[in-house]
Amino acid sequence: MPVLWLVLIVFALGALGFVLGRRRALGGAGGDIRLLHSLPSYYGTNVALLTVVPALFLLGIWLLVQPIVVDAKVSALLPDSAISEGTTRDLVMSDVRRIAEGLDKAVAEGAMTHAQARDIRAEFTDVRNRLGAVGVALGSRVGAPELFAAQRYRRIAGEGSLAMTGAVLALALGGFALSLIRTTPSFRARNSVETGIRYVLIFAATIAVLTTIGIVLSLVFNTIDFFRLYPAWDFFFGTTWSPSFGGGSDLGILPLLWGTFYISIIALAVSVPIGLFAAIYLSEYATPHVRAFAKPMIEVLAGIPTIVYGLFALLTVGPLLLKVFGQDGVGLMQAGTAVVTAGLVMGIMLIPFVSSLSDDIINAVPQSMRDGSLGLGATRSETVRQVVLPAALPGIVGAILLAASRAIGETMIVVLGAGAAANLSLNPFEAMTTVTAKIVSQLTGDADFASPEALVAFALGMTLFVITLGLNVFALYIVRKYREQYE
Amino acid sequence: MYDNPDLARTTVTRDIKIAAHGCQVFYGDTHAIKDVDIDIEDKTVTAFIGPSGCGKSTFLRCLNRMNDTIDICRVVGDIRLDGEDIYDKRVDPVQLRAKVGMVFQKPNPFPKSIYDNVAYGPRIHGLARGKADLDEIVESSLRRAAIWEEVKDRLDAPGTGLSGGQQQRLCIARAVATEPEVLLMDEPCSALDPIATAQVEELIDELRSQYSVVIVTHSMQQAARVSQKTAFFHLGSLVEYGETGHIFTNPTDPRTESYITGRIG
């Protein structure tokens, strides 16, 4: 049975449980809701929750675990002789899975019967051709052990799915029946629902945390692979970045890190003053009328996709800067793509981050502070400079750090605005590139996935992740410290 | 009703410090203050009493133009400080507020050190000739606010770390440091315990020797204890204004009598 149907059935059962639970509770109290411990809908919700949640939880776990178990079982069936020179058990297993999928598809499209799929033998049938006919391309001729393993794979997976359907339905029905029996007017349904909701929320939070850990782990393993092939010292302290896909590349991160920081610093130099001043104007000077109009206008900037900013850098800002600083003007700039182009455009992109966050933080400074200062005969700007800003400073620093981690992670503007050359230079009119832009180019190239030239992308990603994580943690720490002051 | 009416208080006439005539305040469409006429004397403590929402705080905030910071607020009428119209276009509200200091209901020390809190006003108005002079201003202000002994060893500590009563006295020191001529106090003791209240009240009595003090209070006992003149506000109007002893023992208006005997409010 397809998983979708299973989920729908469980939900239908849950809906039915809601109706029946509610009715049973009301019936038990003779229709008088004052005799019930909880409101009738709580009894219904209790039945629905006990029906749906454990069943879906089991379904999720089963779907995660089953492929691992089946893989392990089938893998044990493959004789060592089936694993030829130059390949690994993992690669053969992925072939096996493909063959199994192909057989499933052939059966579904009617090219084979169930019995054929179960019984065909590689010795008599050209499985590759038959599966090719239904659109499943296989790399090489299918050998007898692989086909046998694939057929076993199908059988075990089929049995597993059947068992899963049974178990999930049984659990749903069990929860349904048990909770319906327990539904009496004195049953504390409200408390039970409260507990249930808490577990659902905990589950959601756990998934978010586990995903983060999963992302980190996927980076970590590839990074370790990379450092097996390439010395860590040369990676972290090398000053040249020249990957050549034939091997023998120099993969020093320093030029990329320098490009990242240089562009980010220019971006912050643009966005922090403009964003901060805009926030001060909006929160301290603007009339409610102006504020209601201007704040959304600034926040529109945050909604523009970064690729559009990239085009803006490439087509407008670059040529404009070239006209002023290029050969016809000051003579400092060679081409439109340069650190300063990307930095300026990224700065514009960051303005709403800085201004919106700072605006919230400035507004959180109690009005009594301003009154106190104004009441002593200070002007508005004196009040802002000497009372409001110092009080809001930790929060503003937090906002700037969040903007900085955003700048460090930005890719599209750099690809289009700053060029692709990895330079270690102080000249802002030169083309440079950043860590993120190089991650893209290393992974989209033709390099073998197991070569250091491709794996370096993960090491770059990991480095970037650690840097931005550090910035974010620091920013959150500062913001939290600030909150404690007034609450 | 009150513990010390002090009927024998001197009733000599002093100079008029603030004169308000035909004062009206509107918040949007709400008519908050209706045609208030009052003469506030110099070197006197004047108490504004009245039920919540009667406009006494609003009127107080008119006296140093703090209502300017509220967009929808509009003030009509004539308010004169030493004969000069404070709502005249040529008057700088910033200068005015330096002359008419204000202490708020909730203690609101700045998140700075105790020293910097008190030095704030003198610094922005350039009242000190140097560091030594500023030190002296800070010390004398803290002494006048009766808090010097408690904080003299920790002037660098943040003002927000003091207790509520100490914070309020720090705010009074901060207001005194700018050498105002009038001190407006908007329920300065409502967030304080009885001991801190007694300290602040004693302080108000001392401040009377140099300033004209206007205090808004919800406590009639407090008004009776600290003030020489009392004004009773009701529904945005000034109902009765006179010697404190007179208002509390022999009010002319029946509404005043109802309020001080606890029947309205």
A424, B115, B171 from B132: Cα distances, Å: 53, 13, 22
Check if the beta carbon of residue B255 is closer than 8 Å to that of residue B264.
Answer: yes
CB contact under 8 A, A375 and B66: yes
**Residues of chain A where predicted confidence (pLDDT) is lower than 50:** 487
CB contact under 8 A, A387 and B110: yes
CB contact under 8 A, B94 and A485: no
Q: Which of B64, B110, B176 to mutate to test the interface with A (most CBs of A within 10 A)?
A: B110
Q: Which residues contact B150 (CB under 8 A, 6 or more apart)?
A: B166
Residue labelled with tokens 């230079």 = A425
Burial tier of B207 (Cβ tally within 10 Å: 0-12, 13-18, 19+):
buried
What CATH number is associated with residue B238?
A: 3.40.50.300
Per-residue model confidence (pLDDT) at position A453: 83
CB contact under 8 A, B124 and A376: yes
Q: At what angle do helices A452-486 and A189-229 cross, to 10 degrees?
A: 140
pLDDT at B76 over 60: yes
B83 SS3 class? coil
Check if the beta carbon of residue B191 is closer than 8 Å to that of residue B105.
Answer: yes
Residue A382 with chain B: CB contacts under 8 Å? 124
CB contact under 8 A, A377 and B66: no
Structural domain for B104, as ranges:
16-260
Token pair recorded at residue A446: 């033709």
CA distance B97 to chain A (A): 4
Could you give the CA distance from residue A134 to residue A111 in angstroms, rounded to a whole number? 7
Check if the beta carbon of residue B155 is closer than 8 Å to that of residue B75.
Answer: no
Check if the beta carbon of residue A264 is closer than 8 Å to that of residue A439.
Answer: no
Residue A376 with chain B: CB contacts under 8 Å? 97-98, 101-102, 120-121, 124, 174-175, 178
Token pair recorded at residue A175: 């929860």
In this structure, what are the phi and psi dihedrals at residue A418, rounded to the nearest 5 degrees?
A: -110, -5
Read off the amino acid at residue B174.
R
DSSP code, position B113 = B
CB contact under 8 A, A377 and B111: no
Residue B160 with chain A: CB contacts under 8 Å? 485
Residue A377 with chain B: CB contacts under 8 Å? 94-99, 121, 124-125, 178
Q: Which of B60, B13, B27 is nearest to B213 (CA)?
A: B60
Check if the beta carbon of residue A58 is closer than 8 Å to that of residue A167.
Answer: yes
Out of A377, A390, A391, whose CB is closest to B97? A377
In this structure, what are the phi and psi dihedrals at residue A157, rounded to the nearest 5 degrees?
A: -65, -40
Q: Where are the domains of chain A?
A: 3-198, 241-486
Residue B95 with chain A: CB contacts under 8 Å? 377
Q: At what angle do helices A452-486 and A435-444 cross, to 10 degrees?
A: 140
Residue A368 with chain B: CB contacts under 8 Å? 104, 106, 108
CB contact under 8 A, B69 and A374: yes
Q: Which residues contact A362 (CB under 8 A, 6 or more apart)?
A: A279, A280, A283, A284, A388, A389, A392, A396
**Beta pairing, strands B182-186 & B100-103:** parallel
Q: Which of A376, A385, A484, A487 to mutate to test the interface with B (most CBs of B within 10 A)?
A: A376
Out of B64, B104, B124, whose CB is closest to A372? B104
Residue A366 with chain B: CB contacts under 8 Å? 108
Out of B109, B112, B174, whose CB is closest to A376? B174
**Beta pairing, strands B16-27 & B30-41:** antiparallel
Domain A241-486, architecture per CATH: Orthogonal Bundle (1.10)
Check if the beta carbon of residue A236 is closer than 8 Å to that of residue A379.
Answer: no
CB contact under 8 A, A375 and B178: no
Percent of chain B with pLDDT over 70: 94
- Cβ count near A120 (within 10 Å): 17
Nearest CA in chain B to A287: B71
CA distance A399 to chain B (A): 20
B8 pLDDT band, cuts 50/70/90, is very low
Q: Which of B264, B265, B231, B237 is nearest to B31 (CA)?
A: B237
Check if the beta carbon of residue A271 is closer than 8 Å to that of residue A351.
Answer: yes
Q: Which of B72, B64, B69 is nearest to B25 (CA)?
A: B72
Per-residue model confidence (pLDDT) at position B154: 92
A73 SS3 class? helix
In this structure, what are the phi and psi dihedrals at residue B182, rounded to the nearest 5 degrees?
A: -125, 140
Could you give the CA distance from residue A230 to residue A233 in angstroms, rounded to a whole number? 9
Residue B97 with chain A: CB contacts under 8 Å? 374-377
Could you give the CA distance from residue B22 to residue B238 in angstroms, rounded to a whole number? 11
Residue environment code for A198-221, b if the CB has 16+ CB neighbours within 10 A, otherwise e: eeeeeeeeeeeeeeeeeeeeebee
Per-residue model confidence (pLDDT) at position B1: 45
Token pair recorded at residue A218: 């996927």
Per-residue model confidence (pLDDT) at position B155: 92
* Helix and strand numbers, DSSP H then E, in chain B: 10, 10
Could you give the CA distance from residue A386 to residue A306 in angstroms, rounded to a whole number? 37
Nearest-10 Cα torsion for A391, A392, A393, A395: 140
CB contact under 8 A, B94 and A379: yes
Per-residue model confidence (pLDDT) at position A49: 92
Alpha helices in A230-316 (DSSP H): 232-237, 254-280, 288-303, 306-312
CB contact under 8 A, A375 and B125: no
Q: How many CB pairs under 8 A join A and B?
A: 70
CB contact under 8 A, A288 and B71: yes
Domain count, chain B: 1
Per-residue model confidence (pLDDT) at position A487: 41
**Number of residues written out for chain A:** 487
Q: In sequence order, what are the beta bridge partners of B259?
A: none
Residue labelled with tokens 């507004």 = A363
Q: Which of A176, A191, A140 is nearest to A51 (CA)?
A: A176
Q: What Rg value do the Cα atoms of chain B yield, rounded?
A: 18
Q: At what angle do helices B114-125 and B164-177 cross, to 10 degrees?
A: 20
Check if the beta carbon of residue B159 is closer than 8 Å to that of residue B170.
Answer: yes
pLDDT at B3 over 80: no
Planar angle of CA B77, B81, B83, nearest 5 degrees: 85
Residue B108 with chain A: CB contacts under 8 Å? 366, 368-369, 371-372
| ipTM of model | 0.84
What SS3 string covers B174-237?
Answer: HHHHCCCCEEEEECCCCCCCHHHHHHHHHHHHHHCCCCEEEEECCCHHHHHHHCCEEEEEECCE
Q: Which of B41, B75, B80 is nearest to B58 (CA)?
A: B75
Per-residue model confidence (pLDDT) at position A484: 55
B243 SS3 class? strand
